[in-house]
Amino acid sequence: MPESSDALLRLEGVHTDIGRYQILGGVDLAVGRGRVTMLLGRNGAGKTTTLRSIMGLWKPRAGRISFDGRPISGMTTPDIARLGIAYVPENLGIFGKLTVRENLLLATGRQGFAEPRLERVLKTFPALKVKWNASAGLLSGGQKQMLAIARAIIEPHPMLLVDEPTKGLAPSVVDHLIEALKTLKSEAATILLVEQNFRVARAVGDEVAVMDQGRIIHSGAMAALAADERLQQRLLGLSLGAVA
């Protein structure tokens, strides 16, 4: 994992409760600048809660979260987003009654779309151009996922949090998303990506952190985990084959 000076986002001893239940029990995580960090783990391990705690959607009970050296744990969600953290939630957060154009427009500043950026996003996700004036609620699952990611990158953000982007998608759509994430990676974007699909994690991840029962139980290079079948078995409870 990155050294302190390299980390754009840092979580130290983060505890988050939902109601009476403790979900995060001291999460320590560093997300390196310009790196793609995969957050893996079984269902209920606390991955989504970690992202929501970063965004201030659930307030941590204890611990410290800092972004670019600045503490953000006590900040409101809009203030955290204004620092430049874009968030794609697990449910995508698509506004179904709004058009594709309006969904994207919401993620831009007062000046509206920056043409070169818009063109590039629509080149990455051409389906959105076809559906430009259609209600987002009528898009397919894959198109909604593309819209959610397009909305997060329509303006440049120092950091991107993405929660299970490939969940429930057909393999061909997953391949398309992998390519889109690789494009972002090639632009030195800093991404924290929650993913259950190991193939995706292997394809785009630089670093990996594995969660279990509300804690990080392993962190290191993605390549090392991909190459070690026994480690996969121990951490994730299943072996996905070793790829050097």
Q: Does 105 bind other proteins (CB under 8 A)?
A: yes
What span, in angstroms and rounded, lies between the C-alpha atoms of 94 and 197?
22
Q: DSSP code of 155?
A: S
* Strand 70-71 to 62-67 pairing: antiparallel
- Helix, strand, coil % (nearest 5) of the chain? 40, 25, 35
Measured from the CB atom, the residue of 56 and 205 that comes closer to other proteins is 56
Q: Site residues for other proteins, window 222-241 (CB under 8 A)?
A: none
Q: Does 67 bind other proteins (CB under 8 A)?
A: no
What span, in angstroms and rounded, lies between the C-alpha atoms of 168 and 173?
10
- How far, rounded to the nearest angstrom, does the alpha carbon of residue 126 sit from its chain's CA centroid? 22
Measured from the CB atom, the residue of 82 and 182 that comes closer to other proteins is 82
Tokens representing 53 are 């705690």
Q: Site residues for other proteins, window 117-176 (CB under 8 A)?
A: 138, 151
Q: Does 19 bind other proteins (CB under 8 A)?
A: no
Tokens representing 66 are 């800092």
Q: Site residues for other proteins, window 187-226 (CB under 8 A)?
A: none
Measured from the CB atom, the residue of 95 and 239 that comes closer to other proteins is 95
Taking CB under 8 A as the binding criterion, the range among 3-11, 28-36, 40-48, 87-95 that sits at the site for other proteins is 87-95
SS3 state at 42: coil
Taking CB under 8 A as the binding criterion, the range among 78-86, 115-123, 166-174, 186-194 that sits at the site for other proteins is 78-86
Q: Does 96 bind other proteins (CB under 8 A)?
A: yes
* Closest CB 128 distance from other proteins, rounded Å: 14
14: β partners: 27
Q: Which of 98, 118, 223, 231 binds other proteins (CB under 8 A)?
A: 98
